Structure 1
């Protein structure tokens, strides 16, 4: 098969994948069933790893012999919402416009999944010496929530692979590190009263403001730290309050205020250690509020935690992926979080490499360039040739 042929097949599969709405708030089971049917067409059985209520599933499958030394191609099935975005074409229909393919998920990251699915029958026909493993997850966009259960099963059930390639959009160059992300929601419950009678109540907003000021001060301190010569940009950990809401009227002491923040850390940094003074302040504020009003307090809830992905010294995955991508460039790291750190944490040599640009991800009129699909096809065929030896 030529790169042009594989690219054409991947584009046809991509059209089918884009037509399935897998926004994170929706089930991804229609896409999972599509992949199962595709694989069954050449005799491959896939395994589902369901979430707690069965509404979503990870999926993994092996094409080729069950021996060590294979390659895992991993991608997430979910996409971000299109709500309120000024799309100029149907986001759920693959649309070609010049040298671009438009649609929600084209670059993030159904384009990579389509290439992997197009490659799979080629591996099956070629009697590979080592296997290709496909791994498709759910709920990556809302905190990399789905992959850990699948990764644990892959580690337990499959022969050890030589490399994991997480196909986030990197323009088909190899990325060997990413930051970690941890997110929390803080809910402050106060006691309502007339705003002129502050001694009869407590404003949740006022308490929350003091707590958010601590986070702002911490963000400023983190900005002054880090290695300016390191691979990450920005070179330090970052902290932002992304959401806040509280109060019902200007003349009522607010009963509730809620805010959410994220902390993005460098490899080796522990979020709980960085935030220990803030959590202590939350505990103290909670005790003070409860002493005044039994129903008041501060609730701290962690929403997600995705580990950082640390560059490996002479990593097997990076050596292999660079040879498949024809990439002789410098070491690279990215500020966003992905599932690569979760694979690495399970003991797998891992890289990030996929078609498309992260600059197009999450945007209206999201697109992938046709040339990126073609580069991805060439990468896949070099990988297949490697597995055949």
Structure 2
């Protein structure tokens, strides 16, 4: 070969490499990942109806030589706890959720673009599939130190994770590090906003709409209340440099029975995402802002009450000390604060939250494959970290 041809050859090889990049995973792992992800997404598992996917996933894990335990959360709803080897109480736990929001959207894989979609493809069956394949591909001495937990109910308040936290048969000693899976764009999350769920209930008095003075419109009272909350959320709620402003979403508003009837009852469900402060502080501010509306309603013979859907939680700081990852914070809630115990917490997953809960929920095959590699990195780091901590404790 003549030497003056070498630069041209290098350019040709470089161009070929760009068009044919090195595979992220070996074919065997990639095929297993796509198989697992497809089957999980193909099975509808809207919150409250997770039983079919629980059965399938439990059987799959057993075929992969995991010991599988089911924890009943409510009738026909179970958390899945699985581990490889003899250790039931492992130092590291890997977790995500198997329920989805409605409605169900069928699975698809566009082989030309390698885009994969369907309900749960991102939130969070993409994480579930990548986590399992990552653990399967680990050396046995690492794998035996890792357990899997897949919970129900994350999308509607986290009853699955709450149940695991209070489970009488929860493994002891408790896990020292937990890797949670949610769509994070392949980045390591350093924290997320807190949350507070509220429902405003208004009681009025029904009457014929031709004689409105004979009744008391619950819709009118609710409109006044929401108007006050609009003022409050415009700079009147806690914020922080790390998480930004506290936001209030009027998610569901209901009232009355017909256009020609003065509304007897009305309600509004609110989702408050805390950028700062505590749920109690925010709740107290909301109560104070609605005090005059409540007093006027009561004086007219009606009432306004504020119901807390749960205790909520303040902004959540999450560990992000593993090198090699881009970092971010997110505005959505997770099961991270619902798992009790003193443990390190990591949050990572493929796909973006911007398409989750939508009719175009999808991600690329390469995102799933990269997630397998990244989960392996996180799990190995967590196992090594907990092993070092154990050595220190034993000294």
The TM-score bracket by the shorter chain reads: 0.7 to 0.9
Range with bigger deviation, 238-247 or 271-280:
271-280
* 1:363 to partner: Cα distance: 2.1
Structure 1, gaps ≥5 residues long: 84-90
TM-score (norm 2): 0.80
Q: Give the distance between the partners of 2:84 and 2:291, measured in 1 at CA.
A: 52
Per-residue deviation, residues 65-98 of structure 1 (Å, max 9, x unmatched): 5387732211111112237xxxxxxx32342341
Look up the match of 2:140. Answer: 126
Identify which of structures 1 and 2 has the higher relative contact order when contacts are C-alpha pairs closer than 8 Å and 6+ apart: 1
User: Using a 3 Å threshold, how does the CA distance of structure 1 residues 29 and 251 change in structure 2: closer, same or farther?
Assistant: closer
Match of 2:371 in 1: 376
Relative distance call for 1:94 and 1:64 in structure 2 (3 A) is farther
Q: Secondary structure at the match of 1:60?
A: strand
- Compute the displacement of 1:55 (Å): 2.7
Q: How much does 1:63 deviate?
A: 2.4
Structure number with higher strand proportion? 2
**Where in structure 1 do 4 or more consecutive aligned residues deviate above 4 Å?**
280-293, 383-389
Structure 1 residue aligned with 2:391:
none
Q: Separation in 1 of the partners of 2:195 and 2:316?
A: 13
Match of 2:334 in 1: 338
Q: 2:252 aligns with which of 232, 237, 243?
A: 243
Q: Secondary structure at the match of 1:23?
A: coil
Q: Is the 8 A contact 2:224 2:293 kept in 1?
A: no
How many Å separate the matches in 2 of 1:208 and 1:118? 50
Contact 1:68 1:130 in 2 (8 A): no
| Structure 1 residue 213 corresponds to structure 2 residue 199 | no
Quick check: which has more Rg, 1 or 2? 2
TM-score, with length taken from structure 1: 0.81
**Do the aligned partners of residues 357 and 55 (structure 1) sit closer, same or farther apart at CA in structure 2, a change above 3 Å counting?**
same
2:43 pairs with 1:20: yes
Partner of 1:311: 317
> How many residues end up aligned between the 2 structures?
359
Task: Name the residue aligned to 1:168.
Answer: 182
Deviations 1:12-46 (A, max 9, x none): 0011101110112x411111112221222244332
User: Would you say 1:180 and 2:202 are equivalent positions?
Assistant: no
Could you tell me whether the CA contact under 8 Å between 2:49 and 2:77 is conserved in 1? Answer: yes
User: Is 1:302 aligned to residue 308 of structure 2?
Assistant: yes
C-alpha RMSD of the superposition:
3.0
